[in-house]
Structure 1
Amino acid sequence: MLNESIPFDPSQDLAALAASGALGGNVALFAQPRGADLMRRAAPLEQWCALRMRHGVWPYARTLEGPPEPLATVAGDGLPAARGINFASQDYLSLSSHPAVHEAALQALGECGPHSAGSAVLLGNTRHSGALERAVGELLHCAQVVLFPTGWGAAFGAITALVHAGDHIVIDQLAHASLRQGALAATRNVSVHRHLDCDHVRELLAGIRAVDRAGAIMVVTEGLFSMDADSPDLPLLQHLCREYGATLLVDVAHDLGAIGPGGAGVVGVQGMLGKIDIVLGAFSKTFASNGGFVACAQPSVRRQLQMFAGPHMFSNALSPIQAATVLASLRIATSAEGEGLRADLLRNAVELRALLADEGVRCIGGPSPIVPVWTGTEAATRIAGMLLSREQVFVNPVEFPGVPLGAGRLRLQLMAQHSPAQIRRAAQLVAAAVGRARTAPRPAPRPAPFHPAPESGRG
């Protein structure tokens, strides 16, 4: 059973919250603090975060007490630990609690111990990681696979290893931070295209080739955008890359395993298995462990990644436990059981979206494991997240830098094992929270930031 909601008077609480200053400001204001003392100039940010935490609108760095299941115990956000409906964890097929996955992890622990004890280049591989590479390659119809300790590392490492300073990158404006930061680290020649706009991609590619016939071009996109739950036209993007001599890279972190025939994700849905130049992804959304991969057809590209992708070359490899966990999860995801889990997941997504639409709540994108609920302002996002936390419904309120300023939302992440009753209850409470947030008192201006005085003798 869920804990009883913490009693409070919404009108009084929201009025006090609006007056407190905790709903004002945004992280962008603190992104580049000034001052000679690196250790002290972050003080205004800490004060602002502490203010939000005191008023229950700092929903980050919370603690999950137990496994990431549909019913979970969460502590933090200025509230005591409470058990409630969990839409904040990423475990799309509910494989983190699957007995076969647990058994595989325990067997790997007994056989190999807990540690890879080296990078993949320096004796960090195990038979589990080798089997995982082959399984990922089979799923994606790609002969060459390189594993990374994180999905972030796979994205950043792939771009920085393959793209040089004189090359070009054309990237979707809503691409993940790992992709954008990788692009900026690799070259100054980065062109950002409007979200999912293939005509704009064509225009940018034509412009680049008009002045540079020799430089390489990488086009970067995602299979399923994690904040918008939408997908690009992969056949058209790959065609454009062929036309202009570019290379297409697709990040399938949020869709591989969770949707598509056999768990092949958006690449499989759009009939592009084995046809995309480079596919990369993360294991942490569907496959019950940290880790990532890059897959392609050419052995030479694999070698380039092994030697020049920093997160692969200079980070310890996946532990044998992680590799065995992902491998067991992948085998389930691609089986008949996995098809059933995907059907349950899709049913939950369609049902939740329909219930929210009936309440007048705007959901972004289409049915997928991610249900983004539009809130708009940072203040409304914080209020809605706080109200849901009080009702023991745990979601991820997202504001800048996760999304653009003024484009806040609640990101609900579904699991195959969420029950119909949990979906119905969550829809009611989400609709109520978003409605209250829309009509809440206007927030007061953020208090003037504290600027630390220089220490004696330090200028």
Structure 2
Amino acid sequence: MQNEAIPFDPSQDLPALAASGALGGNVALFRQPRGPDLMRRAQPLDDWYALRMRHGVWPYNRRLEGAPGPLSTVEGDGLPAARGINFASQDYLSLSAHPAVLAAAMAALAECGPHSAGSAVLLGNSRLTGALEGLLGELLQCRHVVLFPTGWGAAFGAVTALVHGADHVLIDGLAHASLRQGAMAATRNVTSFRHLDCDHVRELLAGIRAMDSQAAILVITEGLFSMDADSPDLPLLQYLCREYGATLLVDVAHDLGAMGPGGTGVIGAQGMIGKIDMVIGAFSKTFASNGGFVACDAPSVRRQLQLFAGPHMFSNALSPVQAATVLACLRIVASPEGETLRAALMRHEVELRALLKDEGMRCIGAPSPIVPLWTGTEAACRIAGMLLARQQVFVNPMEFPGVPLGAARLRLQLMAQHTPAQIRRAAPLLAAAVRKAGTAPRPALAPSAQG
């Protein structure tokens, strides 16, 4: 087969792999292909994909057999299906396999069927989505919650529904792509502020208000940044927004449920529950389902979102099965069992970071469900990911556009049901792969983006 991977012996030197061109290039080269034939001008990208596949360094579009778990069977990377330690799935509290969650999903399927059969604005709602809005509002201490079929849709929809062309958006330079794309679609007045830099936010707010007292300003950040495992100073950001008449939006996709007192995430850990202007999030990290939400205290914002957020109005609503799944997860998150699961998750995270540090590795950020392991170059990241897959340790190699060019890393996502034995087995394998990848020679050039 054309894209069949070349068997790779980890004991061999790496010059041949580097000379192949499979370690060179990056997605940025292929982002905007040129030419009059829309259907054919992406051919250089496909050629680059095929080259990387042949050499076993294309770690995307893998397939999971069965449910996500600490031990999972994965097929991809040009390899046959293999069972190994899974740090690539997002199931922070291991709720995808929880008996109560599975039972709730099955009960909803039997009662309501698999399909919402309509937009939430029309007849796509059910008693389960209503209950989910209420319970989520209680957790966040927000009176109004609007559900979306995806977390991406919640982020993009919230920004585009609320921000107009004359308004301003200030957004953390490392915020989710859904938020950045929403901002660019809503207004030309978009400014990135330096990551976590509240002084820069203050400077930008003061500058805008000095020249424009009438337009709205939306300040966007996240509770936990998924590529860097760090968090902003939310009390200070909210204070600055009050001072300059701006609105703060916080995306809690990665921390809600998995961190903070009662599962309230970074907002709860910083004492800001019920005090943030607008909270958005996704159900796909901790709550075992697709979907997303926007929560706030303003009924007028709820109405604006319902009618003008395209992903809410023009997409089918969450299915009854999805709503029931998230509801069951929310009940566990807020229970003593949830505290036990979060404590287990944090123990694994702290131990893995400590073991990797002892191996001389650089882990980014602070304790959270995410451990970003630095590689730097895209070539080193590709090699490390390939070596680990061949040792049945599955990770997510992250390069552009997920992270800036030259700032590649392996993103390790932990689960409450990982075991200490799995953590201790994986740590030296992770370190050895990164060290081996660091010895790679300079990669040859990849195929040209223009062919």
In structure 2, how many angstroms separate the alpha carbons of the residues matched to 1:94 and 1:292? 19
Tell me, in whole angstroms, the C-alpha distance in 2 between the residues paired with 1:94 and 1:242: 38
CA-CA distance at 1:442 after TM superposition: 2.3
Number of matched pairs:
446
Q: Cα deviations across residues 214-247 of structure 1 (Å, max 9, x unaligned)?
A: 0000000000000000000000000000000000
Q: TM-score, normalised by structure 2?
A: 0.98
Q: After TM superposition, list the pairs within 5 Å mapping 1:351-390 onto structure 2.
A: 351-390=351-390
Match of 1:454 in 2: none
Q: Take 2:421 and 2:50, find their aligned partners in 1: how far apart are those partners?
A: 36
- The structural deviation recorded for 1:13 is 5.7
Shift of 1:16: 1.9
User: Where do residues 83-102 of structure 1 align in structure 2 (5 Å cutoff)?
Assistant: 83-102=83-102
Q: Distance in 2 between matches of 1:391 and 1:7?
A: 13
> Contact (CA 8 Å) 2:262, 2:333: kept in 1 or not?
yes
Residue deviations 1:349-394, cap 9 Å, x none? 0000000000010000000000000000000000000000010000
* 8 Å Cα contact 1:169-1:218 kept in structure 2: yes
Deviation, 1:9, is 3.2
Deviation of 1:448 (Å)? 4.3
C-alpha separation in 1, matches of 2:358 and 2:68: 29
Is 1:333 equivalent to 2:336 in the alignment? no
Aligned twin of 1:35: 35
1:127-186 CA deviation, whole Å, 9 max, x = no partner?
110000001100000000000000000000000000000000000000000000000000
- What RMSD, in angstroms, separates the aligned Cα atoms of the two structures? 1.1
Q: In structure 2, what is the equivalent of residue 439 of structure 1?
A: 439
Counterparts of 2:447 and 2:419, CA distance in 1 = 43
Rounded Cα–Cα distance in structure 1 between residues aligned with 2:90 and 2:236: 30
- Structure 1: distance between partners of 2:85 and 2:253: 24
**Counterparts of 1:16-27 in structure 2 under 5 Å?**
16-27=16-27
Aligned to 2:180: 180
SS state at 2:157 partner: helix
Change in Cα spacing, 1:7 to 1:187, as seen in structure 2 (3 Å) is closer
Structure 2 residues not aligned, in runs of 5+: 1-5
1:113 aligns with 2:113: yes
**Structure 1 position 19, deviation (Å):** 1.2
**What is the CA–CA distance in structure 2 between the aligned matches of 1:259 and 1:447, rounded to whole Å?**
44
Q: Distance in 1 between matches of 2:7 and 2:38?
A: 42
Q: Is 2:80 the counterpart of 1:80?
A: yes
What is the one-letter code of the residue matched to 1:264? T
Matched, 1:170 2:162: no
Q: Distance in 1 between matches of 2:192 and 2:28?
A: 20
The answer to whether the Cα contact below 8 Å between 1:47 and 1:450 also exists between their aligned partners in 2 is: no
Q: Distance in 2 between matches of 1:143 and 1:437?
A: 51
CA contact (8 A) 2:250 2:276 kept: yes
* Aligned counterpart, 1:350: 350
d(CA) in 2 for partners of 1:10, 1:430: 13
Indicate whether 1:273 and 2:273 are aligned: yes
Aligned position for 1:145: 145
- Tell me the equivalent position of 1:311: 311
Tell me the SS of whatever aligns to 2:191: strand
1:211 and 2:186 matched:
no
Alignment partners' CA distance in 1, 2:103 and 2:11: 50
State the secondary structure of the residue aligned to 1:12: coil
Question: SS of the residue aligned with 1:332?
Answer: helix
State the shift of 1:339 in Å.
Answer: 0.2
Following superposition, the deviation at residue 10 of structure 1 comes to 2.4
Query: 1:64–1:72: 8 Å Cα contact kept in structure 2?
Result: yes
Q: For each residue in 1:406-443, what CA deviation from the matched residue of structure 2 results, as whole angstroms up to 9, or x when unmatched?
A: 00000000000000010011111100000001112221
Cα separation, partners in 2 of 1:400 and 1:449, compared to 1, 3 Å: closer
Contact 2:116-2:316 at 8 Å conserved across structures: yes
Q: Quick one: distance in 1 between partners of 2:410 and 2:448? A: 28
Counterpart mapping for 1:194-233 below 5 A: 194-233=194-233
Q: Letter of the aligned partner of 1:275 in structure 2? A: K
What is residue 455 of structure 1 aligned with on the other side? Answer: none
What secondary structure sits across from 1:146 in the alignment? Answer: strand
* CA shift in 2, pair 1:312/1:282, >3 Å: same
Distance in structure 2 (CA, Å) of the matches to 1:449 and 1:195? 31
The code of the aligned residue for 2:51 comes to L
1:61 corresponds in structure 2 to 61
C-alpha contact (below 8 Å) 2:149/2:292 kept by paired residues: yes
Could you report, residue by residue, the CA deviation over 1:314-340 in whole angstroms, capped at 9, with x for unpaired residues? 000000000000000110011000000
Residues 1:10 and 2:10 aligned together: yes
- 1:288 lines up with 2:291 in the alignment: no
Deviation at 1:17, TM superposition (A): 1.1
Post-superposition shift, 1:450? Answer: 6.5
Q: Verify the 8 A CA contact 1:171 1:191 in the aligned structure 2.
A: yes
Deviation of 1:15 (Å): 2.5
CA distance in 1, matches of 2:150, 2:239: 30
Amino acid at match of 1:276: I
Q: Is the contact between residue 47 and residue 447 of structure 2 (CA under 8 Å) also seen in structure 1? A: no
TM-score (ref. length: structure 1): 0.96
Measure, in 1, the Cα distance between the counterparts of 2:379 and 2:218: 38
